[in-house]
Structure 1
């Protein structure tokens, strides 16, 4: 399939991750060089049960893609600690900055995936998860498939990512030459919403800031309520 055209995307992105306050960015204040930063990530992984995944993924990032600064840990986590299954446009080799251009879309996306995981677990409901909102700007060229749900329906399957994943692999890991920066696409979880999948950590502009906290609460039947938390502070 011929790749759709590229489009400049200069937007604020919203990413929601499961977390409890306060967030800790272990590497945000490091001033080491790139080689030392890479070693720091590997040393940190000694206490992480996914050390083998991290050790496999880190070499896939060029030295120039190891970012540092306020929020750098949150960027790197998106690439190094991603789900081994992959996502809509990624496989298990390396994660990406999956985010939305609207916080409402980010909520809809994460509620969908969290609910699906809970339904696959015995005794998954009732349950609750606290989420924090990460806000970061991007200004880069992305493959644009917005408004093409009919022309490229295979990329917008609700739960079958086999074709969209193959499409993304071809963009990111082409047989020759450098890969694309990522994809901008319509959300299938929220009408009118827009998502991005950015393949390069360096394209996520620092600082990454923390905004609101949310709590997703599922009752025994699996119905979910989303609450914005107020007065969240360090204990």
Structure 2
């Protein structure tokens, strides 16, 4: 196991980092329209009196410290990874008990990362071939001091295993408990690409919607993606 105290920390400043998410999640008015997150708890309490399903939309707001919550246009895309968490949905650096916002340093990285995970789901549930779920590209800026796994080579192999996330989840939990902001690491799905895993939503800013995408499942793998914005289909090799 990598010693977290020995990891280098890098100042990451990525403009136009890319995150790809399912299009089924609509913006949350609370995050988008109410400027001061300090007002959210009282507004939620009042709204729940007439809308008992509110928390299904917002998620568990208590998982995000008040001082680290974000609001304004696009805030839903930054808050959702942290308020909608579950042990049933673990990720590389979390066992599902806390949220992580993942992004690639460019489109190809985010595409191949999400294609991999979507393909695993389609295979595990024996889905028939065809065009599947709709996705949206989110562009955002990252400005954070992150523990850096890039350049560590074989030393980082355990926490960058393509299949087994046990080591990386332990590392993520230890870093977060020690007050870390997140991690920068090389993509294991896109050679030469880098990823970031952020532990708090305020480490990203200026989220904007980019392209609308569809993925095509051929029964074995995701082999095509469709850019609905450009009316074009591309093969994934």
Q: Which interval holds the TM-score relative to the shorter structure?
A: 0.7 to 0.9
Aligned to 2:109: 105
Equivalent residue for 1:17, pick from 17, 21, 35? 21
SS of the residue aligned with 2:141?
Answer: strand
**Is 1:164 the counterpart of 2:165 in the alignment?**
no
**Residue correspondences, number:** 223
Contact 1:142 1:181 (8 Å CA) reproduced: yes
State the alpha-carbon separation in 1 of the partners of residues 43 and 66 from structure 2. 13
Contact 2:59 2:80 (8 Å CA) reproduced: no
Aligned to 2:82: 79
State the alpha-carbon separation in 2 of the partners of residues 111 and 94 from structure 1. 23
State the alpha-carbon separation in 2 of the partners of residues 11 and 183 from structure 1. 13
Aligned to 2:203: 203
Aligned to 2:66: 63
Contact 1:130 1:213 (8 Å CA) reproduced: yes
Displacement of 1:41 in angstroms is 5.9
Aligned to 1:188: 188
1:41 to 1:135, Cα distance in 2 relative to 1, 3 A: farther
Displacement of 1:32 in angstroms is 5.2
Structure 1 residue runs without a partner (length 5+):
none
Displacement of 1:203 in angstroms is 1.2
SS of the residue aligned with 1:165?
Answer: helix
Displacement of 1:72 in angstroms is 0.8
1:31 to 1:24, Cα distance in 2 relative to 1, 3 A: closer
Structure 2 residue runs without a partner (length 5+):
232-237
Q: What TM-score comes out, normalization by structure 2 length?
A: 0.84
Q: CA RMSD in A?
A: 2.6
Displacement of 1:48 in angstroms is 6.4
Q: What TM-score comes out, normalization by structure 1 length?
A: 0.84
State the alpha-carbon separation in 2 of the partners of residues 46 and 186 from structure 1. 42
1:26-74 Cα offsets, whole Å, 9 max, x none, are 23442353343245567589426858x934xx32321111211111111
State the alpha-carbon separation in 1 of the partners of residues 173 and 67 from structure 2. 21
Displacement of 1:76 in angstroms is 0.7
State the alpha-carbon separation in 2 of the partners of residues 40 and 138 from structure 1. 29
**Is 1:139 the counterpart of 2:143 in the alignment?**
yes
